[in-house]
Amino acid sequence: MKPLHFLGSSLRDLKKFPVAVQQEVGLQLNKVQLGKEPADWKPISIIGAGVIELRIHVGGEYRVMYVAKFTEAVYVLHTFTKKSQKTSKPELELTKQRYKQLLKERRS
């Protein structure tokens, strides 16, 4: 099982979600750690290769952006509440920034 690493404020933000949402996120991320597909996801190639948006529909819309393509771990880049049909630019930019930082750290 791959370890799970939360970048930036992603864990702190996740802990602000309702308990039922946190439990569903945990269940879905556990599947990812085991190399399985989560229930509802889509690739977000505009952020970078391998970035996935995990979609949680429990009493609202919640998103977890992660990357699992690396052998050493699953990295959670960003967690947020989705408030409109389209993912907001600030949410995408923050995810992109954390992904770039992760790539930089892995190179050093």
Q: How far apart are CA 19 and CA 41, in angstroms?
A: 21
Could you report the per-residue pLDDT of 86-97, keeping only the tens digit for each? 889 999 999 999
Give, in degrees to the nearest 5, the angle at Cα 7 between 55 and 49.
60
Provide the CB-side half-sphere exposure for 55 (13 A, CA): 11
Mean pLDDT of 42-56: 96
Decide if pLDDT at 8 tops 90. Answer: yes
Question: Residue 18 belongs to a domain with what CATH number?
Answer: 3.30.2310.20
51 exposure class (CB count in 10 Å sphere: 0-12, 13-18, 19+): buried
Decide if pLDDT at 78 tops 90. Answer: yes
Please report, for residues 9, 47, 67, 81, the alpha-carbon distance to residue 15 in angstroms, rounded to integers and kept in the order given: 10, 24, 20, 12
Q: Confidence band (pLDDT; 50, 70, 90) for 13?
A: very high
Q: Considering its fold, how many domains does the chain have in total?
A: 1
Q: How far apart are CA 108 and CA 10, in angstroms?
A: 23
Mean pLDDT of 10-19: 98
**Domain range for 99:** 4-107
Strands, DSSP E only, in 2-73? 4-6, 41-43, 51-57, 61-67
